[in-house]
Chains A and B, each alone.
Chain A
């Protein structure tokens, strides 16, 4: 009896630090989620300049019009148009994301004049040559909505400075097998509940796969909005930079914007 009680106390003593750290991490994330949910716009539109930097330092630039609408309960729709260069101009991408099933995605290719449904395997491919996969584009919204059941959280350390801002570093290990990443490290700015940096670790070898950094935050309305987003692919040595401009929130985008019709038309009125 004494031996069993001793063992229980020893186990509790060993687990106490872990339990003490897990709780603050989940609390931090839940607080950040509550703040972000309160100020999350119903819809967004923005102009994005996407700079693709290859492993030899060569650059290619794409100009995009990006629109999104949030329906709550982790249901979102987004539509993106390539505005330049001529090689990709007119290409459109439509995505409907759901909490309980795979996303529906369509691609419009102007040289075919057809809308094509994209296969699930396409989601693992780079989005138009960038370091973001089609799955990555939804992942960052998903991360904000994750509960402890979706991803186990752990506070790694606090007070690390990123872009001049002290951040809490939190590890998230997704419990769903569908993700290409084994774990994530998030740098959370406690003051304005924004993520400043995310490291994505490869599921296959556990090594660092990609690093996402968000900088140049500006308050548009009451929404802190990063003006510059960088995704670095550690394995390929490539980088994608997104420079965001003309951001507008809550302009009243209708459901009819996020349809194949708009995709074929190539623009949002």
Chain B
């Protein structure tokens, strides 16, 4: 382990040991009739990933300290703060320490500090109001929720990091109105309406192209054939200006929820920038007569990959209900104007170089030539939906789910199929009086013929410490969404201290 990492790990452990006894403690504020109650808790995690294929990008061991402070000023007013400090992991070659900001997709900082949550929570009988940096969990399906569109995510370790930990807090104002129940078989009970206004756009965090989970398909091939000419390519990943910080670029979302009979249901509307990543590329070309064979021309291109930001609207719904011994969940969303990535080989095949200034070329100097890349994405309307259920078979928890993305009115080859269907499952069982949990998570993409198998064992040493070992196996066609990571099989160990 690098010396700086072990030093930071020691500091983190000392901090954790100090706060381990913190728990909840009252703070007496002068002139306040009620003591303020502050409750501090946290997690200290150590993660080490070992690649199975040594040609895949390396990932540093990582130490992460998450602190969560809840301060109750009164029964009605609470302040919640969440802070995460990370050392190691991604990025592999950081530019130094820093605090994550809301203006960049690519932020190569390590050690790093991230403010995950910092919001005021006001609670009354008819209205709740949350204001500040916060995370939302909308939708009812497992893992892939078509209506969970509010929070962008970090994509440094998308398959190992927990869903809520991956989410980036967004500055938002979120009132929830609790409406009176009306006794009617056609109207829901406990109706509530949540509005969310995010005044400025917050981008997702994406790894650099040398990092383990950067999509290989977003890296230009080292060599390509363009108009009969062999082109040597170099690619790099850069930031792009995020949408301007104006109210026009804010996000608006609504959720209406309630119970109808024995089913929990909700309706959603979202209008804002898509929190799913989309990338595009531009290129500069250079040509020079080959010094050894002047009848040949050496052509190379410098491809710059950068994030693009697209505003979408989505209208959706979800439903959960019990049926005999199972809980069933259904969710769907119609998404307007989402960007879908084109098939990479089509983008390369339509690349154009030229015209080349022959006179300049004959001077023997390197000259710049125009390179035209067709857009990497197309805008389409689509439907995302899923259905799943879970139950216990004996002592074994079983969850099965199907998700489908339907791209409408499409006439272009995409990275995904027009009817991209994925099946996922989770099987979990406890042993040794529930101290040991064995779990198998799997995913299979029908059209893309890709799959992920993720078995893991978690042992609770005591109420404060657990250790997990796991294995991630990825298989599939290299030109598919998941199959492109087929060389990223890995084994890992994670130790977690809770306090």
Binding site for B on A (CB under 8 A): 52, 54-55, 58, 60-61, 84-87, 89, 102, 104, 111-122, 124-126, 129, 236, 238, 256, 259-261, 265, 269
Compute how far the CA of A220 lies from the CA of B137 in the bound complex, rounded to whole angstroms: 42
Asked if B125 is an interface residue, CB under 8 A from chain A, the answer is yes
Please name all residues of chain B whose beta carbon is closer than 8 Å to the beta carbon of A259 when the two chains form the complex.
190
Question: In the complex where A102-B322, A117-B321, A119-B325 touch, is A111 in contact with B162 (Cβ < 8 A)?
Answer: yes
Which residues of B are in contact with A by a Cβ distance under 8 Å?
Answer: 23, 41, 43, 75-76, 123, 125, 128, 135-137, 140, 162-164, 178, 190, 192, 262, 264, 320-322, 324-327, 389-393, 395, 430, 432-435, 460, 462-464, 466, 498-499
Nearest 10 pairs between A and B by C-beta?
Answer: A86-B498, A85-B463, A113-B137, A121-B325, A54-B433, A121-B392, A119-B327, A120-B325, A269-B75, A129-B434
Partner of A119, one of B164, B322, B435, B498: B322
A60 to B498, CA, bound (A): 15
Give the complex CA separation of A54 and B163 in angstroms: 31
Contact A87 B466 (CB under 8 A): yes
A-B contact pairs, 28 of them (CB 8 A): A54-B432, A54-B433, A60-B462, A61-B463, A85-B498, A86-B498, A87-B466, A104-B262, A104-B322, A111-B164, A113-B135, A113-B137, A115-B264, A116-B140, A117-B264, A117-B322, A118-B322, A120-B326, A121-B326, A121-B393, A125-B392, A125-B395, A129-B433, A260-B190, A260-B264, A261-B128, A269-B76, A269-B123
| Inter-subunit contact B164/A261 (CB<8 Å) | no
Interchain nearest-CB distance for A267 vs B (Å):
8
Q: Which residues of A contact B163 (CB under 8 A)?
A: 112
- Write out the residue numbers on chain A whose beta carbons fall within 8 Å of the beta carbon of B460: 87
Q: Which residues of A contact B76 (CB under 8 A)?
A: 269
Report Cα–Cα, A126/B23, bound state, in Å: 27
Nearest CB on A from B328, distance (A): 9
Q: Are B322 and A120 in contact (CB under 8 A)?
A: yes
Contact A86 B391 (CB under 8 A): no
Instruction: Give Cα distance in the complex from A118 to B435, angstroms.
Output: 22
How far, in Å, is B149 (CB) from chain A's closest CB?
15
Identify which of A89, A104, A114 contacts B41 (C-beta below 8 A).
Answer: A89
Cross-chain contact B178 with A261 (CB below 8 angstroms)? yes
* Contact A86-B190, Cβ < 8 Å, known A55-B433, A112-B164, A119-B326: no
What is the distance, in angstroms, from A210's C-beta to the closest C-beta of chain B?
Answer: 15
**Chain A residues with CB under 8 A of B393:** 121
Instruction: Check A113–B75 contact: CB distance below 8 A.
Output: no
Q: Shortest CB–CB separation between residue A212 and chain B, in angstroms?
A: 19
**Nearest residue in A to B148 (C-beta to C-beta)?**
A114
Residue of A52, A55, A269 with most partner-chain B CB within 10 A:
A269
- Report the separation of the CA atoms of residues A125 and B164 in the bound assembly, to the nearest whole angstrom: 26
- Seed contacts A54-B433, A58-B433, A269-B76; 7 additional CB < 8 Å A-B pairs: A86-B41, A87-B466, A104-B322, A114-B137, A119-B325, A119-B390, A120-B324
Residues of B within 8 A of A60 (CB): 462-463
Q: Complex formed: what's the CA distance from A61 to B464 in Å?
A: 11
Q: Is the CB of B327 within 8 A of A118?
A: yes
Tell me the complex Cα distance, A41–B115, Å: 46
Is the Cβ of A86 less than 8 Å from the Cβ of B262?
Answer: no
B392 & A119 in contact (Cβ 8 Å cutoff): yes
- B178 to chain A: which residues have CB within 8 Å? 256, 261
- Residues of A with C-beta under 8 A to B434: 126, 129
Bound CA–CA A256/B41 (angstroms): 28
CB-based nearest A residue for B135: A113
How far is it, in angstroms, between the C-alpha of A122 and the C-alpha of B164 when the chains are bound? 24
Q: Is there contact, CB below 8 Å, between B41 and A117?
A: no
Q: Which residue of A lies closest to B76 (CB)?
A: A269
CB-based nearest B residue for A119: B327
Question: Measured between alpha carbons, how far is A14 from B164 in the docked complex, in Å?
Answer: 68
Contact A113 B164 (CB under 8 A): yes
Chain A's closest residue to B163 (CB) is: A112
Point out the residues of chain A lying under 8 angstroms from B327, CB to CB. Answer: 116-119
**Chain A residues, Cβ within 8 Å of B75:** 269
* Bound Cα distance from A119 to B328, whole angstroms: 8
Q: How far is the CB of B323 from chain A (nearest CB, A)?
A: 8
A261 proximity list for chain B (CB < 8 A): 128, 178, 190, 192
* Residue of A102, A112, A121, A236 ringed by the most chain B CB atoms within 10 A: A121
Across-interface contacts of A114 in B (CB, < 8 A): 137, 140
Alpha-carbon distance A77/B37, docked complex (angstroms): 28
**Chain B hits for A112, CB < 8 A:** 137, 163-164
Q: Please, how many angstroms separate the alpha-carbon atoms of A70 and B284 in the complex?
A: 74
- A50 CB to closest chain B CB (Å) equals 12
Using Cβ atoms and an 8 Å threshold, which residues of chain A touch B125?
256
- In the assembled complex, the Cα of A126 lies from the Cα of B395 at a distance in Å of 9
B393 CB, nearest partner CB in chain A, Å: 8
Q: Which residues of B contact A116 (CB under 8 A)?
A: 140, 320, 327
| Residues of B contacting A118 in the complex (Cβ-Cβ under 8 angstroms) | 322, 327
Asked whether, in the complex, the Cβ of A86 is within 8 Å of the Cβ of B320, the reply is no
Of all chain A residues, which has the CB nearest B392?
Answer: A121
- State in angstroms the CA–CA spacing of A111 and B45 once bound together: 15
The CA-CA distance from A121 to B434 in the complex, in Å, is 18
Contact flag A86-B463 (CB < 8 Å), given A119-B325, A120-B326, A259-B190: yes
Instruction: Give chain A nearest CB distance to B65 CB in angstroms.
Output: 14
Chain A residue nearest to B70 in the complex (CB): A266
Name the A residues within 8 Å of B162 (CB-CB). Answer: 111
> What residues of chain B lie closer than 8 Å to A126, measured between beta carbons?
434
A60 CA to B461 CA, complexed, in Å: 11
Q: Which residues of A contact B23 (CB under 8 A)?
A: 84
Bound complex: CA A52 to CA B499 (Å):
20
Look across to chain B and name the residue whose beta carbon is closest to the beta carbon of A106.
B264
CB distance from A231 to the nearest CB of B (A): 14
Contact of A122 among B136, B392, B464 (CB under 8 A): B392
- Distance in Å: Cβ of A220 to nearest Cβ of chain B: 24
Bound-complex Cα distance A129 to B264 (A): 27
Interchain CA distance A52-B435 in the complex, whole Å: 12
A124 partner residues in chain B, CB cutoff 8 A: 392
Task: Determine the residue in chain B with the shortest Cβ distance to A120.
Answer: B325
Contact in complex: B123, A265 (CB < 8 Å): yes
Which chain A residue lies CB-closest to B321? Answer: A117
Alpha-carbon separation in the docked complex, A58 to B430 (Å): 16
Q: List the A side residues contacting B320 at CB < 8 Å.
A: 116-117
Q: A116-B327, A120-B325, A125-B392 are in contact. Are A238 and B433 (CB under 8 A)?
A: yes
Closest to A56 in B: B433
